[in-house]
Amino acid sequence: MTQQRLAYFFGGGRADGDGSMKALLGGKGAGLAEMTRAGLPVPPGFTLTTATCLDYFAAGRRCPDAVDAAMQQALSQLEAEHGRKLGDPQRPLLLSVRSGSAVSMPGMMDTVLNLGLNQATVHGLAQETGNAWYAWDCYRRFVQMFGEVVLGADADRLEDAISERKAARGVQLDTELTVEDLQALVVAFRAAAAESSGQPFPDDPLEQLRLARDAVYRSWFNDRARSYRRIHQIDEKIGTAVTVQAMVFGNRGWRSGSGVGFTRDPSTGEKVLYGEYLLNAQGEDVVAGVRTPEPLERLRASLPEVHAQLAEVAARLEAHYRDVQDFEFTIEEGQLFMLQTRAGKRAGRAALKIALDLLDEGVVDEAGAVLLVAAEHVEQALHKVFAPGQQPLVLGRGLPASPGAAAGRIAFTAEDAVAMAAGGDPVVLVRVETSPEDIEGMHAAAGILTARGGMTSHAAVVARQMGTCCVAGCGEALIDVAQGWLVLGGRKLATGDWISLDGTAGTILDGRLEMVDPDLDDPALTRILSLADQFRRLGVRANADTPENAQRAAQFGAAGIGLCRTEHMFFARDRLSVVQRMIMSEDAAEREGALGELLPFQREDFAALFVAMRGEPVTIRLLDPPLHEFLPRLAELVEEVASLERAIAAQDAMVRFLEVSEADEATIAGVLEAIARGEETLAHRRALLGRARALTEMNPMLGHRGCRLGITVPGITRMQARAIFEAATTVAAEGQPVRPEIMIPLVGSVEELTDQRAIVDAVAEEVFAERGTRVDYLVGTMIELPRACVVADEIAAQADFFSFGTNDLTQTTFGFSRDDAGVFIHDYVDRGILTGDPFAHLDQKGVGRLVAFAVRTGRERKPGLKIGVCGEHGGDPSSVHFFHRSGLDYVSCSPWRVPVARMAAAHVALREAAEAAETNGAAST
């Protein structure tokens, strides 16, 4: 049980908390406190801290007495400030009760609005406002929401009751219902809620408040919230705060309303007040997407003074927070109230523009601008667009909710989307509207299409955050989820049909369009990356095996190649047969002959890489995969042999049949000839099969591969080293600097490195002597086995550099095969056994500890040892942060992730500097 303050009051221009207290007050609570302090028009309220949520669960889902007492005291303060009392039949105070954790989890947890109404207060409210319809609409909303959220009533059943009544009345809108209708609905809802909870609907407003508060606490562990936290890797131990606030009413008539907005356009970054509102509506109506809201621009016409006030508030918010803000507001009879503000989520290109505009406007400095662009934004800015020259059939239009392009097979449910995506094809999730229950399917989808809802609907917000292309609110789409069809633009499409989405234009296109990667000459991108480069310490290289890839890597700003997988050169069509000959060779001479044929191919490849990289380092990994990977698959060979045998058996039988039926000799001869040809093929395939069988391994990942090949077949290492040095000396002779870095894979003990290094050094001397010239080169090793980490000190003595192969290191540290582990890793993540896929985000606690140990002990042995990483993690922002903090010199990743890595590297350097400044500040006080 905590001894800290439990409730933080805000209102009337003063607040107990402030914006820095997100961990304790949640984003919402801290934001309201900060907004109050900033003098913005905020209805008074108080926040029960996140600690009280944990106390609630620690006490066995019971609110401790101290929390309850603190709540009542804060409530008194609120009542005094607002001049209304909870349950007062004359001037009733109505409250909102909202969740809010340190990390934004939009829509994942529960909220109760209009709390405090009962038969007495609803009449009071009607009398006070002179608007019985308004009062009963509030009461209907409260009973419906409280019934669903707190008492577990079935939402569909309540919603159906409204629809039935509207149908009975022959009306379309809620606002067309009568007071009597609303009263009847209240009665029906109370009965339904009582039935589902087994207890009468509570009429004591304080009891209502207690129950709502506890329901909000509980919603921290509902399925949606757990799922969201898992996907976004949010710690469940942070808990949620509960903010209780005086209600202001957007539904008090047509000079009232609610809205949400951004201080700038979150899709384009343009400096315009951006958002949506609905008159005579509460905020939930705007985000739920049930009524399609109006763009904020219209407010200028309908309520010009409110619009002006909103514009002024927006400017104040940006200056205060030094960032784009996403806010919620309510207009009560022409008076503006600000309910919430937070950093606005934005699309990739918008983030670039916003950061640079704020920099140019003097709101942020260069470091601030870099920090405003998340690595994910850069990734989004690199999103696909459709290949030009296609003439797609436009099926329809919606809102451009999240930029980018997608083509996929249609799925109508989240479950289908997950299942179909697991099958390998991209998926477009098509829904009437999305809800938090759909989160898994949205995550699995390449694109999202909804028929209802605006730019701030659930689908739009979540899709932008995920960086998934989304077209929202396409009202012309007819969707039948149960039957599995979509009718749009005169076509009927079914589950599994191909469709394409343009999330930037908001169009829906027929079929599977081809996509191309974005133009990267965007000056905003170039500028922000250049800014980032000023701050980062970590070098960024690219993994590239071909000159084309190497050139692209250089364009993306890679300072060299961190991993060239030489086996990719072996797989080329004209070489594979030579490689197979090498593998099938019966003696050393034959093998050397085949290796000799491979030499010129490899030399050419390396020369092209050296030329492409213009003197930047090129790290070449010697042959890594087991040799059987270069032969046809065993199962294919077995089946081919079996099918040849079957064919020959059938032909044999046919010959006998033809003989009996006295067919002509030419026919029989033809079949016999076919049999002879078949038998020849069969003999060859059987030989291949024999070799493939001999090379087959139970666990090829742990088998005869990596430097183990070079040690048992030194000719391979000699050939590859010769190709590298011949290429290097040739290119150098043409006047271009070269920096080959030769990397020995899968080293587990220093003796392996010593053995292979001796061969490489000897070949280098041979080639240098032959060519009469030298080039500088390094010989280093992949650190990709736990044992290599453990004996890194010894290995460092023989290595010019380390490059962590965190893919393989993850495999062996966990004992997970990437090829097989998918089956249970999914289960593991679902059940919280793993916080994320360790192949996507470095497992810092396990694998990371081995990495850190190897870095420390390797550098103790060889100070200044050059260390990088060349696994997939090199392009993952959280992993890049870890590598920076572990003291690596560089990361290497696929060319497309190079900009992301540059950005992530800058962020971690800036944050480290900020932390150091804070620590120094703390130390000097």
Q: Is 849 in the site for its own copies (CB under 8 A)?
A: yes
Q: Which is nearer to its own copies, 77 or 813 (CB)?
A: 813
Q: Is 482 in the site for its own copies (CB under 8 A)?
A: no
Catalytic residue among 469, 870, 893, 907: 870
Pick from 64, 632, 700, 836 the residue near its own copies by CB under 8 A.
Answer: 700
Amino acid at 247: M
Choose one: 3-11, 194-202, 600-608, 783-791; the region binding its own copies (CB under 8 A).
783-791
Q: With the CA atoms of 487, 488, 489 and 492 taken in that order, what torsion angle do they form, in degrees rounded to the nearest 10?
A: -30
Q: Is 426 in the site for its own copies (CB under 8 A)?
A: no
Q: Is 179 in the site for its own copies (CB under 8 A)?
A: no
Structure tokens at 643: 């099918």
Q: Is 798 in the site for its own copies (CB under 8 A)?
A: no
φ/ψ of residue 607, rounded to 5 = -60, -45
Q: Closest distance between its own copies and the C-beta of residue 783, in Å?
A: 12
Residues 135/114, Cβ–Cβ less than 8 Å: no
Helix extents (H) in 170-260: 179-197, 205-219, 223-232
Q: Closest distance between its own copies and the C-beta of residue 819, in Å?
A: 4
Instruction: Please state the three-class secondary structure of 849-864 as a single string.
Output: HHHHHHHHHHHHHCCC
Residues 6+ apart with CB under 8 A from 260: 275, 276, 277, 283, 286, 287, 326, 327, 328, 329, 456
Q: Which is nearer to its own copies, 639 or 734 (CB)?
A: 639
Choose one: 140-148, 420-428, 750-758, 907-915; the region binding its own copies (CB under 8 A).
750-758
Q: Which is nearer to its own copies, 487 or 672 (CB)?
A: 672
Pick from 415, 827, 860, 918 the residue near its own copies by CB under 8 A.
Answer: 827
Q: Closest distance between its own copies and the C-beta of residue 426, in Å?
A: 24
Q: Which 499-518 positions form the footprint of its own copies (CB under 8 A)?
A: none
Run of H or E residues at 605: helix 588-613
Residues 6+ apart with CB under 8 A from 448: 401, 402, 428, 429, 431, 434, 442, 459, 463, 468, 469, 470, 471, 472, 501
Regarding beta strands 507-510 and 617-621, do their DSSP bridges make them parallel or antiparallel, or are they unpaired? unpaired
Choose one: 340-348, 570-578, 820-828, 909-917; the region binding its own copies (CB under 8 A).
820-828
Residues 6+ apart with CB under 8 A from 469: 383, 402, 403, 404, 405, 406, 446, 447, 448, 463, 501, 502, 503
# residues contacting its own copies (CB under 8 A)? 64
Q: Is 588 in the site for its own copies (CB under 8 A)?
A: no
Q: Is 636 in the site for its own copies (CB under 8 A)?
A: no
Q: Is 748 in the site for its own copies (CB under 8 A)?
A: yes
Helix extents (H) in 42-152: 50-58, 65-82, 119-129, 132-149
Pick from 483, 589, 819, 921 the residue near its own copies by CB under 8 A.
Answer: 819
Q: Is 237 in the site for its own copies (CB under 8 A)?
A: no
Choose one: 113-121, 676-684, 812-820, 880-888; the region binding its own copies (CB under 8 A).
812-820
Run of H or E residues at 692: helix 665-695
Catalytic residue among 458, 628, 873, 881: 458
Q: Is 664 in the site for its own copies (CB under 8 A)?
A: no
Q: Is 672 in the site for its own copies (CB under 8 A)?
A: no
Pick from 426, 547, 703, 715 the residue near its own copies by CB under 8 A.
Answer: 703
Q: Is 712 in the site for its own copies (CB under 8 A)?
A: yes
Choose one: 147-155, 208-216, 506-514, 786-794; the region binding its own copies (CB under 8 A).
786-794
Q: Closest distance between its own copies and the C-beta of residue 656, in Å?
A: 6
Structure tokens at 215: 């329901």
Q: Which is nearer to its own copies, 177 or 583 (CB)?
A: 583
SS3 185: helix
Query: Comparing C-alpha atoms, which of 689, 762, 671, 769 is closest to residue 721?
Result: 762
Distance, CA of 508 to chain centre: 23
Q: Is 856 in the site for its own copies (CB under 8 A)?
A: no
CA atoms within 13 A on the CB side of 234: 21
Q: Closest distance between its own copies and the C-beta of residue 217, in Å?
A: 24
Quick check: is 458 catalytic? Answer: yes
The region, left, alpha or beta by phi > 0 then psi within -120 to 50, assigned to residue 915 is alpha
Pick from 570, 725, 816, 883 the residue near its own copies by CB under 8 A.
Answer: 816
SS3 741: strand
Residues 449/468, Cβ–Cβ less than 8 Å: no
Binding mask 595-634 for its own copies (x = CB under 8 A): ---------------------------------------x
Quick check: is 789 catalytic? Answer: no
Instruction: Please state the three-class secondary structure of 128-178 as a single string.
Output: HHCCHHHHHHHHHHHHHHHHHHCCCCCHHHHHHHHHHHHHHHCCCCHHHCC
Query: Comparing C-alpha atoms, which of 858, 726, 687 is closest to residue 781?
Result: 858
Catalytic machinery residues: 458, 870
Residues in the site for its own copies, rule: CB under 8 A? 634-635, 638-639, 642, 645-646, 649-650, 653-654, 656-657, 660-661, 697-704, 706, 708, 711-712, 746, 748-749, 751-752, 755, 784-787, 790-791, 808, 811-817, 819-821, 823-824, 827-828, 831-834, 843, 845-847, 849-850
